[in-house]
């Protein structure tokens, strides 16, 4: 598998899909790969994906929200309407490293988790508690900047989202990070491989193609080993 993805390094730039998801009545989960490629010239964290509406958002960011540097030392989960995020200092990506991120939400219990792992590592989980009210998701953004005009300096690929049923478990999240294609087909909302700036189609068959905002180019660096291993195993099975 070759390096692929989309490259975002400009204000108000990224890709997005305009959605209509009732988060008060549905569980959901979102996953994706990202590398931080340098400073972003802003006081906001760099984000692999962002979901929300004009009133607020939920995102996971591998930087302190007030820190602009290429070697961030924390991860933040920022939650719509909750007034503050959830911090941990377990995440320390440096420039060019591939990291996997995910958020899950169960609407009945209001339980939210964030997940993250460096390529080849062991999946970690943040327990964000059960105080998060559901909300309407009208935008799914990659690069995390298109709603508010914020800037990321990142490469992203393989963003997947599920809506409805029961949200993904930790073991299911770990399975998804090892597979380019979705492992769980049930309640799959969108499967955006994002292998280049021209590859914004939804591979789930649901027709939810992303739209470019601002300046987006193709990434030549994002090539997670975790996905490579799965691809090699599939090729071996085909040969035998």
Per-residue pLDDT of the chain (240 residues; tens, 9 = 90+): 678 899 988 777 889 999 999 988 999 999 999 888 877 766 566 777 878 776 666 777 665 434 433 333 345 566 555 444 555 544 566 778 898 999 999 999 988 888 888 899 999 888 877 877 778 888 898 876 556 666 788 899 999 999 999 999 999 999 999 999 999 999 999 999 999 999 999 999 999 999 998 889 998 888 999 987 555 444 344 444
Q: How far apart, in Å, are the Cα atoms of 56 and each of 11, 78, 80?
A: 19, 9, 5
Angstrom CA distances, 229 to 30, 120, 141, 179, 236, stand at 22, 10, 28, 9, 11
pTM, 2 dp: 0.86
Assess if residue 213 is contained within a domain.
yes
94 lies in a domain?
A: yes
Give the CATH number of the domain where residue 121 resides.
2.60.120.200
- How many domains does the chain contain in total? 1
User: Residue 47 has what pLDDT?
Assistant: 75
DSSP 3-state of 50: strand
Does some domain include residue 81?
yes
- Residue 208 domain flag: yes
**Does the residue 24 lie in any domain?**
yes
Assess if residue 33 is contained within a domain. Answer: yes
| 1 found inside a domain | no
Q: What is the pLDDT of residue 204?
A: 97
Ramachandran class of 195: left when φ > 0, alpha when ψ lies in -120 to 50, beta otherwise: alpha
Contact 48, 154 (CB under 8 A): yes
Let me know if residue 234 belongs to a domain.
Answer: yes
């Amino acid at each position: 598998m070759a390096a692929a993805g989309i490259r975002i390094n400009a204000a108000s730039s990224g890709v997005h899909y305009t959605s209509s998801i009732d988060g008060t009545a549905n569980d959901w989960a979102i996953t994706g790969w990202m590398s931080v490629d340098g400073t972003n010239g802003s006081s906001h964290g760099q984000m692999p994906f962002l979901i929300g509406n004009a009133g607020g958002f939920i995102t996971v960011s591998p930087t302190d929200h007030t820190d602009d540097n290429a070697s961030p030392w924390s991860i933040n989960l920022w939650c719509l309407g909750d007034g503050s995020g959830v911090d941990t200092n377990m995440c320390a990506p440096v420039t060019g490293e591939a990291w996997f991120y995910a958020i899950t939400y169960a609407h009945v219990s209001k339980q939210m988790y964030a997940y993250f792992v460096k390529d080849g590592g062991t999946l970690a989980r943040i327990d964000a508690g059960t105080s998060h009210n559901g909300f309407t998701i009208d935008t799914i953004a990659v690069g995390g900047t298109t709603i508010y005009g914020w800037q990321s300096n990142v490469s992203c690929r393989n963003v997947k989202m599920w809506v409805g049923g029961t949200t993904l478990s930790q073991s299911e999240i770990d399975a998804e990070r090892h597979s380019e294609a979705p492992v769980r087909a049930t309640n799959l909302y969108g499967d955006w491989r994002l292998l280049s700036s021209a590859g914004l189609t939804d591979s789930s068959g649901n027709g939810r193609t992303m739209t470019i905002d601002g300046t987006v180019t193709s990434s030549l660096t994002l090539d997670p080993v975790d996905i490579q291993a799965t691809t090699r195993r599939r090729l071996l099975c085909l040969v035998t």
